[in-house]
């Protein structure tokens, strides 16, 4: 599928947001650090929003050939879809996973490990769960090896259900399907939270915590992306009626209405309200902002020019490899950086130095994945 400049711009923005968030996690900056202190204190939010945007983009890109304006492809069969998608991500993921696992075992001083007391055998067990994409289902392997790899488990779950989800969208219509998935997932999450809160130390509390990083709790983000694919036309304004089939619910009423109302209400209140909201409402609030951000980029006339520029296209093309590599590189570099630098100085140095290093290493990983693809699958 041809690359859409607006999507490439969103992909690049999400990558930078996640990178800055993980940089902030190794070099935290104080909210009282001068003029930009309050802004720097909000940097962790960028990582959360970056993941949500990636989920929106994933649902959008996968659905565009089937739900988009041209409907160029027949609906996918599960085996064929799984073969194409898993081979696409594994050719990058497995080499990166092997690299960081070996470094975890033989050179622990070079990386910042989330579980420093784990034995080599435990690391190897976590390695196997990562290979099978089931590491997000257990607290013992969830943050093992590279914490950022949790997203690969969520992505694999979405791949597994996508062939059936797209048929639901076609059968029921994109508007109704998206609404039903959002309501069912978030109501289920609310019920799970209520049960877990009855006993904070129970097994259900851990189940509720892990549920946040798995389907079906995170399904609405992908589903909204799928709906966006069905409504993505050149004539579609930020607020208006896209191409709709007879009997489909209005766009604003069923898909963006609750999110828009929530954003307006919270905008009139204390900006710190979202941080105090209990799940799932705080997360829904953030999803609403991300959806509005995607719509704003779609509407912005300069997005096509900026997203079609060579720097953004190159960054977006390397975004997946950057995601796989950046967190350990940030941790290792910060550990070896002299402590005489002030936190703001270390932050800027790491932002530039590790950003460039991560991009160059990402190109190497992309090249390796391309060679593996040609060796295994031919041209």
Instruction: Please count the helices (runs of H) and the strands (runs of E) in the chain.
Output: 17, 0
What confidence category does residue 251 fall into, taking pLDDT thresholds of 50, 70 and 90?
very low
Which tokens is 255 given? 């898909």
pLDDT exceeds cutoff 60 at 139: yes
pLDDT exceeds cutoff 80 at 344: no
pLDDT given for residue 164 in this prediction: 96
Q: How far apart are CA 214 and CA 210, in angstroms?
A: 7
Contact indicator for 43, 20 with CB cutoff of 8 Å: yes
Rg from Cα positions in the chain: 21
- Between 301 and 327, the more confident residue is 327
Q: How far apart are CA 216 and CA 227, in angstroms?
A: 17
338 phi, psi to nearest 5 deg: -55, 140
Angle CA 210–92–326, to nearest 5: 65
Which tokens is 309 given? 């520029």
What is the CA 60 to chain-centroid distance, rounded? 13
pLDDT exceeds cutoff 50 at 249: no
Mean pLDDT of 227-250: 51
Which tokens is 47 given? 């990582």
Residue indicated by tokens 């050179």: 107
Considering only CA atoms, which of 89, 244, 107, 220 is closest in space to residue 153? 89
pLDDT exceeds cutoff 50 at 177: yes
Contact indicator for 20, 254 with CB cutoff of 8 Å: no
Which tokens is 109 given? 């001083």
- For 72-114, write each residue's pLDDT tens digit: 678 889 999 999 999 999 999 999 999 999 888 886 655 555 5
**Would you call 356 exposed, middle or buried from its count of C-beta atoms within 10 A (0-12, 13-18, 19+)?**
exposed
Mean pLDDT of 11-33: 82
Mean pLDDT of 171-194: 90
**Would you call 313 exposed, middle or buried from its count of C-beta atoms within 10 A (0-12, 13-18, 19+)?**
middle
Alpha-carbon torsion (105, 109, 110, 115), positive or negative: positive
pLDDT given for residue 264 in this prediction: 52
pLDDT given for residue 313 in this prediction: 92
pTM here is: 0.85
pLDDT given for residue 241 in this prediction: 34
pLDDT exceeds cutoff 50 at 243: no
- For 276-326, write each residue's pLDDT tens digit: 445 678 888 888 888 988 888 888 878 888 888 899 999 999 999 999 999
pLDDT exceeds cutoff 50 at 238: no
Q: Which of 180-184, 286-290, 352-356 has the lowest mean pLDDT?
A: 286-290
Considering only CA atoms, which of 293, 281, 289, 180 is closest in space to residue 226? 180
pLDDT exceeds cutoff 80 at 31: no
């Amino acid at each position: 599928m041809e690359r859409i400049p607006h999507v490439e711009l969103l992909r690049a923005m999400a990558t930078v947001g996640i990178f800055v968030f993980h940089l902030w996690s190794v070099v935290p900056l104080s909210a009282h650090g001068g003029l930009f202190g309050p802004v720097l204190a909000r940097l962790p939010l960028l990582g959360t929003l970056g993941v949500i945007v990636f989920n929106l983009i994933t649902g959008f890109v996968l659905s565009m050939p089937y739900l988009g304006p041209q409907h160029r492809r027949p609906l996918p069969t599960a085996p064929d879809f799984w073969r194409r998608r898993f081979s696409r991500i594994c050719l990058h993921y497995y080499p990166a996973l092997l690299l960081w696992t070996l470094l975890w075992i033989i050179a622990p001083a070079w990386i910042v490990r989330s579980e420093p007391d784990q034995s080599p055998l435990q690391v190897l067990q976590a390695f196997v769960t990562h290979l099978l994409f089931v590491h997000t289902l257990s607290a013992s392997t969830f943050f093992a090896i590279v914490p950022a790899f949790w997203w690969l488990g969520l992505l694999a779950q979405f791949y597994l259900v996508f062939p059936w989800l797209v048929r639901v969208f076609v059968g029921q219509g994109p508007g109704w399907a998206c609404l039903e998935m959002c309501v069912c997932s978030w109501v289920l999450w609310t019920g799970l939270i209520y049960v877990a809160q009855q006993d904070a130390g129970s097994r259900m509390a851990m189940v509720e915590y892990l549920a946040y990083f798995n389907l079906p709790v995170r399904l609405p983000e992908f589903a909204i992306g799928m709906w966006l694919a069905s409504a993505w036309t050149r004539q579609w304004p930020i607020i208006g009626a896209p191409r709709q089939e007879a009997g489909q619910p209005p766009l604003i009423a069923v898909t963006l209405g609750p999110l828009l109302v929530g954003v307006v209400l919270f905008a009139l209140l204390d900006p710190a309200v979202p941080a105090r909201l209990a799940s799932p409402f705080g997360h829904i609030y953030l999803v609403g902002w991300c959806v509005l951000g995607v719509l704003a980029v779609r509407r912005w006339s300069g997005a096509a020019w900026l997203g079609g520029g060579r720097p953004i296209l190159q960054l977006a093309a390397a975004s997946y490899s950057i995601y796989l590599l950046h967190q350990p590189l940030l941790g290792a570099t910060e550990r070896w950086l002299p402590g005489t630098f002030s936190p703001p100085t270390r932050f800027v140095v790491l932002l530039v130095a590790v950003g460039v290093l991560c991009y160059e290493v990402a190109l190497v990983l992309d090249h390796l994945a391309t060679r593996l693809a040609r060796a295994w699958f031919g041209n």
